[in-house]
Amino acid sequence: MSDDDFPPDDGLDATAEGADGFDADLLEQELRGAAAVLDPLPAELLQLAMDAYVLHDLEARVAELTFDSLVDAIPVRGVEDPPRMLTFQAGALTVDVEVTGDGLLGQLLPPQTARIEVLGGPAAARPLTVDGMGRFASDTPPTGPFALRLRTGRDVIVTEWLRA
Amino acid sequence: MDRAEVGALVQSAVDGDAAAWKALVEGLSPLVWSVVRAHRLSDADGHEVYQTVWFRFAQHLGRIREPDKAGSWLASTARNECLKVIRGLTRLLPTDDPQVLDRISEDRTPEQSLIDAEDQADEARRIRMLWQEFEELGDRCRQLLRVLMASPPPSYVEVSAALGIAVGSIGPLRQRCLRRLRARLDARGAV
């Protein structure tokens, strides 16, 4: 058994305090104190989560991630840096997206025109060019978390937030 | 955080109560942070995962089927995003060295300050030794303890969602891992 595994059962697990006076709760509490000093949640991340409340939008429909090449694709031998292929679905609408180091490409299915923005956080939105067939492209790859906001006719659809 | 409380806060946040959202973030972001840190991503990746989780939570707020389990939802979303990073990545780096403790400056006499400084230095040494031994535990123990030490402490259901460990085995595993840590500290002659 390697050190990566959990240690073997030593038969003393039944009670919080074993016969030898070991106090697990106390040690856990000490770790909690140490984490607060040595590995605290950065203040700016706490603030970003606070600010994320504006992303709560009941008017918009969420297009759920139904395919992610990072999880669902079978690796192709010899392909060093394959593009990230993503598929989102909202009702009858499918959004296919391909993210590479060079940018972002995509297609709405069934083909239709739409206004599309790339969201990068609570305050960042960048419009994309879309053709009449619902094909869109950007030569700036998304960095960090991103989502696409689509306006088709009367609908607003936002893809699930993902990390590029 | 208490599940009934979480459920009520989620409902209020859905209804537009910004203070409820703030309370959810304050109560549950330490858990999300712990899950991210437990997976030992680089700082940049960890920060992005943390943000992704909260952005997605905000996005799904009104659609979460069991609002009282929002803590588990956040924990398992964080876990999945961490695993994606690890899967997609050669960018995996060890975490940074623990930072030096901040000095506390207060109005004290020089003598008192000196005693305090020595006490603080002892305390800082003790904390660093504890952290060092914790970091050198096997991966699975380190992960489990890193999630458990979130403040406020997570429920076992949340820990289960964060690490993919059955709820029933968390108690015994916690006990073994803490015991192993104690043994390492004792071997170093730590108090």
Task: Kindly state whether residue A91 falls inside one of the protein's structural domains.
Answer: yes
A28 and A97 belong to one structural domain? no
CB within 8 Å: B172 and A9: yes
Alpha carbon distance B186, B191 (integer Å):
7
CB within 8 Å: A38 and B141: no
Count of structural domains, chain A: 2
Q: How many CB pairs under 8 A join A and B?
A: 167
Alpha carbon distance B55, A161 (integer Å):
6
Alpha carbon distance A69, A74 (integer Å):
8
pLDDT at B31 (0 to 100): 97
- pLDDT bin (cut points 50, 70, 90) of residue A9 is low
Boundaries of domain holding A30: 24-53
Q: Does A83 touch chain B (CB under 8 A)?
A: no
Q: Are strands A135-138 and A125-130 parallel, antiparallel or unpaired?
A: antiparallel
Residues of A in Cβ contact (< 8 Å) with B37: 39
CATH 1.10.1740.10 for the B3-87 domain, yes or no: yes
A45 and A64 belong to one structural domain? no
Instruction: Please determine whether the domains at B3-87 and B110-187 fall in the same fold group of CATH.
Output: no
A84 and A142 belong to one structural domain? yes
Q: What percent of chain A has pLDDT over 70?
A: 86
pLDDT at A10 (0 to 100): 55
A70 and A134 belong to one structural domain? yes
Range from A78-87, A98-107, B2-11 carrying the lowest mean pLDDT:
A78-87
Residue ranges of domains in chain B: 3-87, 110-187
pLDDT at A78 (0 to 100): 67
- pLDDT bin (cut points 50, 70, 90) of residue A74 is confident
Give B108 to chain A, closest Cα distance, Å.
Answer: 23
A92 and A134 belong to one structural domain? yes
Task: Kindly state whether residue A11 falls inside one of the protein's structural domains.
Answer: no
Low-confidence ranges of chain B (pLDDT < 70): 89-110, 113, 190-191
First and final CA of chain B: distance in angstroms? 32
Say what the ipTM of the complex is.
0.87
Residues of B in Cβ contact (< 8 Å) with A70: 84, 87-88
A78 and A113 belong to one structural domain? yes
Residues of A in Cβ contact (< 8 Å) with B130: 30-31, 34
A36 and A85 belong to one structural domain? no
A30 and A97 belong to one structural domain? no
CATH number of the CATH domain containing A122? 2.60.40.760
Helix or strand or coil: residue B169? helix
Which residue of B13, B49, B56 is in closest CB contact with A160? Answer: B56
A74 and A35 belong to one structural domain? no
A76 and A155 belong to one structural domain? yes
- In this structure, CATH architecture of domain B110-187: Orthogonal Bundle (1.10)
pLDDT at residue A159 above 60?
Answer: yes
Residues of B in Cβ contact (< 8 Å) with A4: 138-140
**What is the dihedral angle through the alpha carbons of B104, B107, B112, B116, rounded to the nearest 10 degrees?**
-10
